[in-house]
Structure 1
Amino acid sequence: MNITDLMSKEAIKIHGHASNKMDAIDQMVSLMYRQGNVSDKEAYKEAVIERENLSTTGMVDGIAIPHARTTAITKAGIAAMTLPEGVDYHSMDGQPTTLIFLIAAPDNGDNVHLQVLSELSTLLMDHDFCEDLKNAGTPEEFLSIIDLAQSAKHETEAVEHPEVLAVTACPTGIAHTYMAAEALEKKAKEMGVSIKVETQGSVGVKNELTQEDIEHAKGVIIAADKNISLNRFNGLPLYSCPVARGIDEPETLIQIILDEQAPVYKGEEVKVENNQEKGWHIPYKHLMNGFSHALPILVVAGFMSVLAFSFTRDTQSQYFQILNVLGNILYLFVLPVLSGYIAMSIADRPALGPGLLCGYIAYSGFSLSWLNDPVTLRTSGFLGAIVGGFLAGYLMLVVERLFKNVPDMFDGIKPVLLYPVLGVLASGIAMTVLNTYLIKCHTIIIDCLYDLPLISVVIIGASLGAMMSIDMGGPINKFAYLFANALVFTKAPNSDVIMAAVMGAGMIPPLAIAFSTLVFKEKWTEEERGTTFKNIIMGLSFVSEGAIPFIKKDQKHVLPACILGSFITGALSAYYKCGVMLPHGGIWVIYLMTNPFKYVIALLAGTIVSGLIITFTHKSEY
């Protein structure tokens, strides 16, 4: 559907002025009435106001899209107005509204207004498109800008077979996954290259690559920090790299595919890891594959257990028993899933069973020592599951290599019987022996946390807090987060305090950026100010990556400020003994925390200090 089919130049007002929100609505309704779409002007106005009373239609970046569906509309239509001086439209980011679209839809069962709203909203996500509309000199120019943008969008969507394919994924599947996808798509558009990007995020696979896409593509980019199933890309040039390169170097990655520099993927015969994935990044990728699968289970398990104690302190209560048992059942799966998916990342599906077994051995505490003293069982926790995952994965590779030259007649049973059975035997026996020592190591670590003086807890909270901001989702950040998660899982002493410190510290970078762009608007460009609302939401949700674009522009000043703010928040949170047994949730789970008001103080302190330093040290583009 063409948006301009529902518009006329009579319903467009250029360089308008409105004293307040109601004045703006009056003028927009009059424009719609002038276009001939309204049979009862007052009834339509009431419908628009009624919709506004539900929630404001003032978005961010100076955009408002009021709309209403009523019998007072004779046919669907759109009116528009630009307001150079802006108007207070009660927008989500609190900024003046400078561009308004009013959508009218008849109440006849037709969902045309939803289609238009979706199409228009997609276009308005482009900052340059919005600026062009705001600067239009005539209604005719305004309509022309919309037509050109919509045509370009449809041309992009109409590409039957994209030249370049990509898959993006990060361990938590929240921010890096989609930032890399956006960067690749934006750069491909600038280069005039058609691309299709599949995202494997926390909400599942989106924009999935089809077999037809793969058959006609020049190559595929895998920008991921966890294991991605690659069998479908057999025979296709494939370039694999960390997800951060998808954000930082999209043009380089696309050019590698276009210049035919990527090696052809041939299943097990070719290593997927390219030059950027040598050394530490290979085991890190395997570890993050396990962690990304175990984290959702750990979050829900912790939430169920905390919820049980939140509802009632009576451990004999039926509600407590149900919630607590559900939480404990989920805890049972965390270590096997972690270990199993590490192993699977190393040696594919045959290693999943051995990995699960090693994870359960770590959870249960089964070992040679247990055979001599079956009364005592102590888990080896995350340490055991991680070691068990790598053990199972690499032992499976050894088994596969030993039986590589088995006669072809056994090919059918190798992946479903021979490899799994031998892998389980080798991994199970090895893990049983090794677990004796892993339990001792784990016990020493946990025992060290007993009777820690407050100053030691503060130092741990501050140190892990600073680590959360050093590389924003990179290996240092993930190490600090994984360490806190491991303590929460084992319910070690002070684990709730350390988890709260780590979570609070991870919230600081985007909150500090939002504080600066909100309070010191004159220091930032309009595009940077437009990220304020997004960074507030990301920060409060414990998603640090909203600060990455600002760090990329001025790493020398912004990054140290973020690290210092996270250090302060981690230290204060630990000092105030704020605690939470949930590994995620940000401010939205504050009602489950101990000392929540002091936790807010810790967050504010880190945010303000970091925000002030960023404000007065960053390089302005003005």
Structure 2
Amino acid sequence: MSQMITAELVDLELDLAANSKEAAARSLAERMVALGRVSDLEGFLADVAAREAQMPTGLDGGIGIPHCRSAHVTEPTLAFGRSAAGIDFGAPDGPADLIFLIAAPAGADDAHLTILSSLARQLMDTDFTTALRSVSTAAQAAALIAGEAAEPETPQTPKIPGGSDTPDTPDTPDTPDTPEIQGGSQTPQTPGAPEIQGSSQTSQTSDTAEIQDLTETPTPEARPFRIVAVTSCPTGIAHTYMAAESLEKAGHAEGVEVVVETQGSAGFTRLDPAVIAAADGVVFAHDVPVRDKERFAGKPTVDVGVKAGINRPAQLIAEVREKAARGDITAAGTRPSPVEAAGEPGEGYGTKLRKWLMSGVSYMVPFVAAGGLLIALGFAIGGYKINEAPSVMEHFVWTDATSWAALLFQVGGLAFGFLVPVLAGYIAYGMADRPGLVPGFVGGAIAVTIKAGFLGGLAAGLIAGAVVMAIQKARIPAPLRGIMPVVVIPLVSSALVGFLMFLVIGAPIAKLQSALTSWLNGLSGANAITLGVVLGLMMCFDLGGPLNKVAYTFAVGGLAAGTDGSFKVMAAVMAAGMVPPLAMALATTVRGSLFTRTERENGKAAWVLGASFITEGAIPFAAADPLRVIPSAMAGGAVTGALSMAFGCTLRAPHGGIFVIPLIGNAFLYLLAIAAGTAVSASLVVLLKGLRGQSADPAPAMPEPKVAVAA
């Protein structure tokens, strides 16, 4: 720990430099930059802000812990600031006066993460935080945090600003991923992880003895209530371990045995199955999906965000005890995490619907890319009649290119055939988690059978998710609870979805899909150009976001029809999606003085991203200057979409950018459309930035972003 924090990384008068959480993070981050711990200040602060956007990092008791993993961090680093006036980090009880900025490299090893997690647990100790409020020098604060000096003596423990109800008796930092049983001895500290002064250490007891103690069956009157818990957060450094510490302390105070599985960045050790089997209830305090949560099925479950585990552990323990007393068995993990698809309870239905659909699309895209490109290669090698070739099981000549083309086409066709079932299955998964998969896939397969296509898959997924959610809310007799996830829910939901798809809504959707296909096939003239403009605007509005994915999925869904109109739509969508990153790359090349050094470095990568049809390559530019970049990108995308449709360009592949140019109809005009849109967008960006008079920023260069396959 002493290498992670030094006196130079401590500011005991943070008020003088900051009055907001953004300013506080910047002030502390500048100290890291000065010591060479952070290579790019702006890039690192963007990562901190992105983490903060997922969930506020303020905690009850006057603590703020902004933190993130970042490629701009050269070594694990901790900076500390103290603010007399307090800075708002979103905690329910008010501003924070103790601010810890935790910076972890993208590839931080387990040892460093273990030390940081130990600090996170120690922040739940009021003696530790009280001592930090009383130190007078930066060196004392750094030594206290690093565990190299005894805490200064303090008078009667003052009330922590914000009012913390955490018990005063401190606990020893535990190995983050080793489960503990409250009421017994705690496990020893991780070798190599320094002890922070002021923490009392209890006698050592082996994990085996703890598990044996938990699984033995004492007399009924002596047996305490037992809870198993899982904690996790997006970064897996701070909140994960704070929630675990808070739950364990609350359990000890209530006379309840609590064993926590921390699913953090340093990995996790699964709870012993015997411990889970002996538990009377389950608490999930998580903001990322709980791994292997089916292990906890059939038990009373409280499912909340990780901050609830930190701020109100006693309430969660009381709630799970009440559920157990009522026999209320909740399917494990029915509350989707913020990282999953369903969204937070406070979100509107429109937001949730968008996230459910995006869940299906995200899982569908790999099938689209693999199947569509194999089909396109089959056409390229064997000609447009390759779809009439006999099965390669019946006829295959090793030396015949046509046979190999047929093989590619037929494998791609099978992969592409999963498009609608996967879309439906994972829409249902986004709504109802794993129980939604079976009825979702069944409904998607029915949509293919009745020729309801892409629209049928959307409907099937939403119906399947809704049916499963309704079943999960029903009060189930105790004898059936154990078989609900594997028998009852799949059986009942599949039957209901099949009935609705075959006999109620399937036929109308199939007719609508047929009418849409006919309309696309008959597009010409002004109608085709108008559609190209709309699709181009959608592709460039949010640069890979929901609206972009709607346009892309619409185009991909039409490929299955195999009509000339659907091929034109696919061509327009891919061409427009290539424009934003190519335009930003061109703009940074011709007028580099209008962009920061980081943006110029990103511009080099944007050439490759744009050429590969990865629209997200323009996101760094849009995030820095949305009012100039996004309208410019939309204008170029609209021009390209319109020209592609007007030129009658066609595309049978769903992805690939310039690498599938040989598979494009009217390839020269297609490239001309892309070039025209790129020129329009780049010109507008340069014009708008020039009017503002922006000059280059001497900030260090950001490493080129990794290329991710996305539309």
Q: Tell me the TM-score normalised to structure 1 length.
A: 0.59
In 2, the alpha carbon distance for the partners of 1:125 and 1:609 equals 37
**Structure 1, residues 489-545: CA drift from partner, whole Å, max 9, x if none?**
222441111111111111111111111111112222222212121111211121222
Residue in 2 aligned with 1:304? Answer: 374
Alignment partner for residue 514 of structure 1, among 546, 568, 585?
A: 585
Residue 126 (structure 1) aligned with residue 126 (structure 2):
no
The change in CA–CA distance for 1:389 and 1:208 in structure 2 (over 3 A counts) is farther
In 1, the alpha carbon distance for the partners of 2:465 and 2:412 equals 29
Residue in 2 aligned with 1:380? Answer: 452
In 2, the alpha carbon distance for the partners of 1:521 and 1:213 equals 52
Q: Is the 8 A contact 1:569 1:605 kept in 2?
A: yes
Residue 238 (structure 1) aligned with residue 305 (structure 2):
yes
The change in CA–CA distance for 1:534 and 1:497 in structure 2 (over 3 A counts) is same
In 1, the alpha carbon distance for the partners of 2:271 and 2:621 equals 35
Residue 531 (structure 1) aligned with residue 617 (structure 2):
no
Matches within 5 A, 1:462-501: 462-501=533-572
In 2, the alpha carbon distance for the partners of 1:560 and 1:129 equals 24
In 2, the alpha carbon distance for the partners of 1:349 and 1:393 equals 10
Residue in 2 aligned with 1:397? Answer: 469
Q: Is the 8 A contact 2:580 2:618 kept in 1?
A: yes
In 1, the alpha carbon distance for the partners of 2:602 and 2:367 equals 32
**Structure 1, residues 244-269: CA drift from partner, whole Å, max 9, x if none?**
xxxxxxxxxxxx78984999799557
Amino acid at match of 2:268: Q
Q: Is the 8 A contact 2:555 2:569 kept in 1?
A: yes
Residue in 2 aligned with 1:210? Answer: 267
Residue in 2 aligned with 1:335? Answer: 420
The change in CA–CA distance for 1:194 and 1:352 in structure 2 (over 3 A counts) is closer
Residue in 2 aligned with 1:419? Answer: 489
Q: Is the 8 A contact 1:542 1:585 kept in 2?
A: yes
Alignment partner for residue 440 of structure 2, among 336, 343, 355?
A: 355
The change in CA–CA distance for 1:555 and 1:432 in structure 2 (over 3 A counts) is same
User: What is the CA-CA distance between 1:229 and the residue it aligns to?
Assistant: 8.2
In 1, the alpha carbon distance for the partners of 2:292 and 2:648 equals 43
**Structure 1, residues 418-454: CA drift from partner, whole Å, max 9, x if none?**
2211112111111101211111111111122233223
User: What is the CA-CA distance between 1:397 and the residue it aligns to?
Assistant: 2.3
Alignment partner for residue 637 of structure 2, among 566, 588, 594?
A: 566
In 1, the alpha carbon distance for the partners of 2:271 and 2:349 equals 30
User: What is the CA-CA distance between 1:278 and the residue it aligns to?
Assistant: 2.5
In 2, the alpha carbon distance for the partners of 1:468 and 1:335 equals 22
Q: Is the 8 A contact 2:575 2:674 kept in 1?
A: yes
User: What is the CA-CA distance between 1:600 and the residue it aligns to?
Assistant: 1.6
Q: Is the 8 A contact 1:162 1:213 kept in 2?
A: no
In 2, the alpha carbon distance for the partners of 1:539 and 1:125 equals 29
SS of residue paired to 2:349: coil
SS of residue paired to 1:282: helix
Matches within 5 A, 1:111-510: 126-127=39-40, 152=77, 157=109, 158-160=112-114, 210-211=267-268, 220-222=286-288, 238=305, 260=311, 267=332, 270=335, 272=337, 273-274=343-344, 277-313=347-383, 315=386, 316=389, 317-365=402-450, 379-402=451-474, 404-406=475-477, 408-433=478-503, 434-510=505-581
In 2, the alpha carbon distance for the partners of 1:610 and 1:261 equals 51
Amino acid at match of 1:340: G
Q: Is the 8 A contact 1:298 1:489 kept in 2?
A: no
The change in CA–CA distance for 1:541 and 1:311 in structure 2 (over 3 A counts) is same
**RMSD between aligned alpha carbons?**
4.0
In 2, the alpha carbon distance for the partners of 1:516 and 1:271 equals 42
In 1, the alpha carbon distance for the partners of 2:623 and 2:526 equals 35
**Structure 1, residues 205-229: CA drift from partner, whole Å, max 9, x if none?**
x9977335999xx97544x9xx998
The change in CA–CA distance for 1:125 and 1:162 in structure 2 (over 3 A counts) is closer
Residue in 2 aligned with 1:589? Answer: 660
Return 5+ residue gaps in structure 1 as ranges.
1-122, 131-147, 166-183, 197-205, 240-255, 366-378
**Structure 1, residues 384-418: CA drift from partner, whole Å, max 9, x if none?**
0110111112112223334x332x22222222112
In 2, the alpha carbon distance for the partners of 1:411 and 1:604 equals 61
Q: Is the 8 A contact 1:391 1:427 kept in 2?
A: yes
SS of residue paired to 1:530: helix
In 2, the alpha carbon distance for the partners of 1:448 and 1:594 equals 20
Q: Is the 8 A contact 1:337 1:356 kept in 2?
A: yes
In 2, the alpha carbon distance for the partners of 1:477 and 1:502 equals 9
Q: Is the 8 A contact 1:499 1:583 kept in 2?
A: yes
Amino acid at match of 1:126: S
In 1, the alpha carbon distance for the partners of 2:264 and 2:614 equals 23
Q: Tell me the TM-score normalised to structure 2 length.
A: 0.52
Q: Is the 8 A contact 1:450 1:493 kept in 2?
A: yes
Q: Is the 8 A contact 1:466 1:566 kept in 2?
A: yes
In 2, the alpha carbon distance for the partners of 1:448 and 1:149 equals 56
Structure 1 runs of 4+ with >6 Å offset:
153-156, 192-196, 206-209, 227-236, 256-259, 261-266
In 2, the alpha carbon distance for the partners of 1:548 and 1:483 equals 22
Amino acid at match of 1:300: A
Return 5+ residue gaps in structure 2 as ranges.
1-35, 44-72, 78-102, 122-233, 243-262, 273-283, 321-329, 338-342, 390-401, 697-711
Q: Is the 8 A contact 1:129 1:149 kept in 2?
A: no
The change in CA–CA distance for 1:530 and 1:405 in structure 2 (over 3 A counts) is same
The change in CA–CA distance for 1:608 and 1:383 in structure 2 (over 3 A counts) is same
SS of residue paired to 1:584: coil
In 2, the alpha carbon distance for the partners of 1:468 and 1:338 equals 20
The change in CA–CA distance for 1:391 and 1:220 in structure 2 (over 3 A counts) is closer
Q: Is the 8 A contact 1:220 1:257 kept in 2?
A: no
In 2, the alpha carbon distance for the partners of 1:194 and 1:520 equals 46
The change in CA–CA distance for 1:410 and 1:209 in structure 2 (over 3 A counts) is farther
Q: Is the 8 A contact 2:303 2:334 kept in 1?
A: no
The number of equivalent residue pairs is: 417
The change in CA–CA distance for 1:426 and 1:534 in structure 2 (over 3 A counts) is same
> Please, which moves more after superposition, 428-437 or 583-592?
583-592
In 2, the alpha carbon distance for the partners of 1:439 and 1:393 equals 21
The change in CA–CA distance for 1:323 and 1:525 in structure 2 (over 3 A counts) is closer
The change in CA–CA distance for 1:271 and 1:347 in structure 2 (over 3 A counts) is closer
